[in-house]
Structure 1
Amino acid sequence: MMGTVRGTREIARAAVKAELAEVAFDLFRRNGYDQVTVNDVAAAAGVSRSTFLRYFGSKEDAVLSVLDAQGRQLAEKLRARPAGEDDWTALRRSFDFILEDYRENPSGTLALTRLVQQTPALRARRMEKHSGWRPGLAQALADRAGLPDPPPLAPLVRAAAALDCLSLAIDRWTSSDGSLDLAALLDEAFAALTDR
């Protein structure tokens, strides 16, 4: 019974968080990111400023909070890749789940990535969040290879390079207004580091 209550609370909290993020994104898209305050978002969502700040520490987090879960999921996907697969292939294939959002909701993800690309604070925060993914990816690579904890430098370098490939591919896809194939762009970015 206790687990059900906790599960219900977590579901309700996730629903409120998603609703607040959607309200924030709509306001940012309509009025411009810099013109919208936390108070504006809270008022539009019908909650207090303190309630908004319980869910998100900042406006940037309201837009990019989805990246927190993606980083954890990405490390899990990487750990689940076949044991015989080389690190670079495993990294590239583990990114496929991120591409699913782009395939399922291209107009929504294009609007989001465009907002991030055009807003310096969001670009910086996205880079910060991607940097936060590096240790988890490096540990997943180390775990796959049976390396000690903490992982040596090589897995960190591979994780950083892979995340840069992802960022560059997304930026190119956004600049093309979604007309280019994101998976092909990601393949091209990864191949650029293996071509001799």
Structure 2
Amino acid sequence: MSGAVRTNTRDIARAAIRFELAQVAFDLFRREGFDNVTVNDLAAAAGVSRSTFLRYFGSKEDAVLGAVDAQGEQVADALRARPADEGDWTALRRALDTVTEVHRRDPDGALAMSQLIMRTPALGARTLEKQNGWRPAIAQALAERADPSWPSLLVPLVRAAVAVDCLNVAVEHWTASDGRLDLDALLDEAFAAFALR
């Protein structure tokens, strides 16, 4: 067996365990409240040791928000895949479909997650911190499509920040409606408020 196959198998197994631990954590947080659950509680509920749990998640916040880190690169990759003749603002809006896809695929789960995050200040703050980490990747993808007159990454960074804020405002409205409003329509409306040409 080659090293690449072993690594891929190991990665698949690790991802499956991580997913299961995250699901146990999410269920416990929903039942007991985020602030009432310790890492020891999470480990016990999952049937693993505290050190095993912490090997997969550095904190209980990360057990809920682990997928958020990868979303910035997914948005950047989707942005790079947009047609070259498409305006940056339109390309940014369409690239964010990679994030809203989860809401379309599992609206009940996404709503429960959004409600947990919005009701828990520590999760809300951590989410914003993680999303701020998306900006450089998104800005770099914009720069690759860019107007050569941009002397720095300032313009793409500002556009990336505004796009992420539009996403957050749309998700907040969607969550406040208990998922009854259309998230894509809300995101379109938020983007229209900042139409860049």
**TM-score for both structures, normalised by structure 1:** 0.96
Range moving further from structure 2, 138-147 or 59-68: 138-147
State the percentage of identical aligned residues. Answer: 64
Instruction: State the shift of 1:149 in Å.
Output: 11
Residue in 2 that maps onto 1:182: 183
| Structure 2 CA distance for aligned equivalents of residues 105 and 128 of structure 1 | 24
Instruction: State the shift of 1:151 in Å.
Output: 4.3
Task: Give the unaligned 5+ runs of structure 2.
Answer: none
Runs of 4+ aligned structure 1 residues displaced above 4 Å come to 146-151
Residue in 2 that maps onto 1:87: 88
Distance change (3 Å), C-alpha of 1:16 and 1:148:
farther
Is the 1:42–1:52 Cα contact (8 Å) retained in structure 2? Answer: yes
Range moving further from structure 2, 186-195 or 83-92: 186-195
Instruction: State the shift of 1:152 in Å.
Output: 2.2
Task: Give the unaligned 5+ runs of structure 1.
Answer: none
**Coordinate RMSD, CA, aligned:** 1.6
Is the 2:69–2:131 Cα contact (8 Å) retained in structure 1? Answer: no
Is the 1:71–1:130 Cα contact (8 Å) retained in structure 2? Answer: yes
Residue in 1 that maps onto 2:55: 54
Instruction: State the shift of 1:116 in Å.
Output: 0.2
Q: SS at the partner of 1:21?
A: helix
Aligned residues: 195
Residue in 1 that maps onto 2:130: 129
Residue in 2 that maps onto 1:139: 140
Residue in 2 that maps onto 1:19: 20
Is the 1:67–1:129 Cα contact (8 Å) retained in structure 2? Answer: yes
Distance change (3 Å), C-alpha of 1:45 and 1:152:
same
